[in-house]
Chains A and B, each alone.
Chain A
Amino acid sequence: MLYREAGQFRTSYAADQQLLPIRQDRILMAVLLAVAFVGVPLFASDYWLTALLTPFLVFALAALGLNILTGYAGQLSLGTAAFMAVGAFAAYNFQLRVPGMPILGSFVLGGLTAAVVGVAFGLPSLRIKGFYLAVATLAAQFFIPWLLVKVPWFTNNSSSGVITSQPIVILGYVFDTPGSKYLLVLAIVALMALAAKNLVRSRIGRAWMAVRDMDVAAEVIGIRIMRTKLIAFAVSSFYCGVAGALYAYAYLGSVEPDGFNLDLSFRILFMIIIGGVGSILGSFLGAAFITLLPIFLDVLLVDGALALGLNLPSGATSMVQLVVFGALIIFFLIVEPHGLARLWQIGKEKLRLWPFPY
């Protein structure tokens, strides 16, 4: 009843082509953005901002990057964390070594560096497909952190290999409170998500999907496979690189190469699988789910045990958490292999007919 587009006519191509053709969606999006930009900074606690929302946004951006590569262009990658590391360390070095470098410029250059590295590791995709490619991207996952540890120049000769990010200053304003960092990340992520949404509707986006669905057929209809795949690697790595820079600058503050390990790559892969492969919205839903789930389980098990007066053997909660996490992943994959985004879509369909389904 509430969610019905009856009576909303599109009278121009522009109206037909817009991102959110249904009025209710536009209202929802406006409300969401208002809450995110105004409501959250006003009301959320520091814990929320630093420990939940900022990492959620950073991971959403990384998931978006991986989704472009895996979801839209169909190239499975297990090296996401490595590309994030490239972004983080490149941004650090640009900021450190180029005098007067604006911080946003460093982020962009960090992303571009990641894009270049991404293309280099994407080259094998021209010959290798499927899981062979996935395992091959592990080469990047192991090689890049090794290189960052081995060459002291990257970490400015820090004996420990840990880099501490410089303060974020834009036009004289220092982003040092949780709220300001959150807003900065939110703005960047919102812009890049908008760009991604448009990108996947563009010519190149459709070329990606053609390659994903059947590369031989795509080639036959005149899509240049090599160019398309490499652009996917470049764009995806750019997103991951910027996410890595934000991870270092706005979230953790100090990072070490070993922090960008295979576990992180898997986490991001989980996000897009649970959220929805080939869906921008899915990247956000998945990131929220995977970021919140462990915290939820932790809180539930610790507080739940306290409330029930159970004296769990110490350490058991951690194991139960792991078991439940694994089980829930499997459960979600079985129930909805297309992810939360699909679930949301089904919900919307139902909502359109509600309360009078056929």
Chain B
Amino acid sequence: MKTWMRILAGATALVIGAGAVAPVAAQQPNTQFIGITGYRVGPYGANGAAFFGGFIDYLNLVNERDGGVNGVKLSWEECETEYNNAKGVECYERLKTRAGTGPTAIHPMSTGITYALMEKAPTDKIPLITFGYGRTDATDGRVFPWVFPLMSNYWDAATGIVKFIGDKEGGDAKLKGKKIALLYHDSAYGKEPIPVLEAEATKLGFELKTIPVPHPGNEQQSQWLQIRQYKPDWVILWGWGVMTATALQTAQKTGYPREKMVGNWWAGSEIDTVAAGPAATGYYAASLNLAGKSYPVTKDVESIVYKKANKGSKAELVGTVLWNRGVAAAMFTVEAVRTAQAKFGKKPLTGEQVRWGIENLDLNAAKLKSLGFDTMLPPLKLSCEDHGGSGQVRFQQWDGKEWKSASDWMKGDTVLVRKMIEESAAKYATEKGIKAGCLPG
């Protein structure tokens, strides 16, 4: 018995060694292959499941409804990163080997993985799309030609939140002498808004107190007691994962009004508010995209992908903030391919060609409407200098059941943000010896 088990164990070990040697995936030729580095397990698995669910649902929609992009079908493979940098790199390397054209464009969906891939992308000629995360100064495309922090970055969010608070107080001038606390996840991600908020504090004359929450943030008694003692007029919540729900819950416990709390877009999904229950009611969050199912594209996904083709990922997720964000992210990739096809021809394109497509992406209001994204997203136009393309945010408020729009699309202090981005990018360029400039089309 024991011997046989031993042999079995040895054999298993050998098979694992040999099996990992020969990764071959079934690939359809002549398709635009899209590599997906996703995560559905671990502490952020719920976030990943919603985002990548929407992402894949939209890819399915393009295939089922339009027969691909100008006749070029899409194919994809998802690799589980567990939100772990090392595994993310392995996934990226694996997806790189697939198909002749490479993985099109990667959405790392993790700031850590973004950083790890940023050095590799230029050599491999694979563009990275970081939709609302990643390295903020990569918005300067002259220094970071291969990275696209699409739409708005963290500094846009931070200044946007300050603007929103100013509006609520009745104008930026009223911010003078006010107290704002920043409650942040104590990590690279959480520290991102501090410099820009400090600059805003000096400029507008409000007082800023930064309070870190150690990972994972499932106990915040002491942080909220500090807030209770400080008595800020507003609390900006820069949370991720369980931290957001706990913050809302502890705010209720310490009697801090949720109507005075503004989160960023990673602290503003149903995942956070549902977990917090009634404690979340009244809480604001900056958003990159609106929630809801009323958009034509959502209706298409429901009728074509879910009903007709029965390929939907999970019906409960449809219309949630992160699902919509996944749909939008997939749409960016698809439209970048379409833009690039106009120049390079209607065939599967390489990463280099798609990069050109992203950089020349122009999603004006009419285009968004024709795609069925009417009001979900603001118009977006990229250029070599500006790899973001919009810089706008919109605020939503949780009414206890769903996210409701609470403002129009708005911009923060774009001048300040741009100045800081260029300074930071220039510093990076000198450190790395990069000669800033646009890549030729």
Q: Do chains A and B touch in the complex (CB under 8 A)?
A: yes
Interface residues of A (CB under 8 A from B): 45-47, 50-52, 55, 146, 149, 159-162, 164, 251-256, 258-259, 263, 285, 288-289, 292-296, 298-300, 302-303, 306-307, 311, 313-315, 317-319, 321-322, 328, 331-332, 334-336, 340, 343, 346-347
Query: Which of B5, B41, B80, B82 has the most C-beta atoms of chain A within 10 angstroms of its own C-beta?
Result: B80
Partner of A336, one of B9, B115, B120, B195: B9
Chain B residues 307-361 with CB under 8 Å of chain A are 311, 313-314
Q: Which residues of B contact A343 (CB under 8 A)?
A: 6, 9-10, 13
Residue of B nearest to A161 (CB): B188
Q: Which residues of A contact B9 (CB under 8 A)?
A: 331-332, 335-336, 343
Q: Which residues of A contact B194 (CB under 8 A)?
A: 159
Residue of A nearest to B81 (CB): A318
Besides A256-B115, A295-B94, 10 new A-B residue pairs in contact (Cβ under 8 A), listed by A number: A159-B192, A252-B116, A253-B120, A258-B188, A295-B90, A299-B23, A307-B26, A315-B49, A335-B2, A343-B10
Q: Are A252 and B80 in contact (CB-based, < 8 A)?
A: no
Query: Which of B9, B192, B214 has the most C-beta atoms of chain A within 10 angstroms of its own C-beta?
Result: B9
Name the segment of B14-22, B253-261, B273-281 touching the other chain.
B14-22
Q: Are A302 and B86 in contact (CB-based, < 8 A)?
A: no
Q: Which residues of B contact A255 (CB under 8 A)?
A: 85, 116
Chain B residues 403-427 with CB under 8 Å of chain A are 424
A47 to B120, CA, bound (A): 13
A45 to B21, CA, bound (A): 11
Q: Which 6 A-B pairs have the closest CB atoms?
A: A51-B93, A315-B40, A160-B188, A292-B20, A296-B20, A161-B188
- Shortest Cβ distance from residue A342 to the other chain B in the assembled complex, whole angstroms: 9
- Shortest Cβ distance from residue B2 to the other chain A in the assembled complex, whole angstroms: 8
Q: Is B8 an interface residue (CB 8 A)?
A: yes
Q: A303-B25, A314-B40 are in contact. Are A252 and B85 (CB under 8 A)?
A: yes
Q: A162-B188, A258-B215, A296-B20 are in contact. Are A314 and B85 (CB under 8 A)?
A: no
Q: Are A47 and B97 in contact (CB-based, < 8 A)?
A: yes
Residue of B nearest to A336 (CB): B9
Q: A159-B424, A317-B80 are in contact. Are A253 and B26 (CB under 8 A)?
A: no
Q: Which residues of A contact B223 (CB under 8 A)?
A: none
Q: List 30 A-B contacts (CB under 8 A).
A: A45-B97, A46-B93, A47-B93, A47-B94, A47-B96, A50-B89, A51-B90, A149-B191, A160-B115, A160-B135, A160-B191, A252-B89, A254-B115, A263-B84, A289-B17, A292-B17, A295-B20, A295-B23, A302-B79, A303-B24, A314-B56, A314-B314, A315-B49, A317-B80, A318-B45, A321-B41, A331-B12, A335-B5, A336-B9, A346-B6
Partner of A253, one of B23, B119, B214, B313: B119
Q: Which residues of A contact B77 (CB under 8 A)?
A: 302
- Shortest Cβ distance from residue A239 to the other chain B in the assembled complex, whole angstroms: 19
Residue of B nearest to A46 (CB): B93
A300 to B311, CA, bound (A): 22
Q: Which residues of A contact B87 (CB under 8 A)?
A: 294
Query: Which of A254, A256, A315, A328 has the most C-beta atoms of chain B within 10 angstroms of its own C-beta?
Result: A315
A313 to B49, CA, bound (A): 11
Q: Is B368 an interface residue (CB 8 A)?
A: no
A89 to B26, CA, bound (A): 41
- Shortest Cβ distance from residue A288 to the other chain B in the assembled complex, whole angstroms: 7
- Shortest Cβ distance from residue A37 to the other chain B in the assembled complex, whole angstroms: 19
Question: How many A-B residue contacts, CB cutoff 8 Å?
Answer: 157
Q: Is the interface of A mostly helix, strand, loop or mixed?
A: helix
Residue of A nearest to B52 (CB): A314
- Shortest Cβ distance from residue A228 to the other chain B in the assembled complex, whole angstroms: 34
Q: Is B66 an interface residue (CB 8 A)?
A: no
A313 to B52, CA, bound (A): 13
Residue of A nearest to B17 (CB): A292
Q: Are A314 and B313 in contact (CB-based, < 8 A)?
A: yes
A315 to B16, CA, bound (A): 22
Q: A45-B97, A314-B313 are in contact. Are A253 and B116 (CB under 8 A)?
A: yes
Partner of B86, one of A55, A303, A311, A315: A55
Q: Which residues of A contact B313 (CB under 8 A)?
A: 313-315
- Shortest Cβ distance from residue A290 to the other chain B in the assembled complex, whole angstroms: 10
Chain B residues 34-58 with CB under 8 Å of chain A are 39-41, 45, 49, 52-53, 56
Q: Which residues of A contact B111 (CB under 8 A)?
A: 160
Q: Is B112 an interface residue (CB 8 A)?
A: yes
Q: Are B16 and A296 in contact (CB-based, < 8 A)?
A: yes
Q: Which residues of B contact A328 (CB under 8 A)?
A: 12
Q: A47-B93, A295-B90 are in contact. Are A256 and B19 (CB under 8 A)?
A: no
Residue of B nearest to A254 (CB): B115
Q: Which residues of A contact B24 (CB under 8 A)?
A: 303
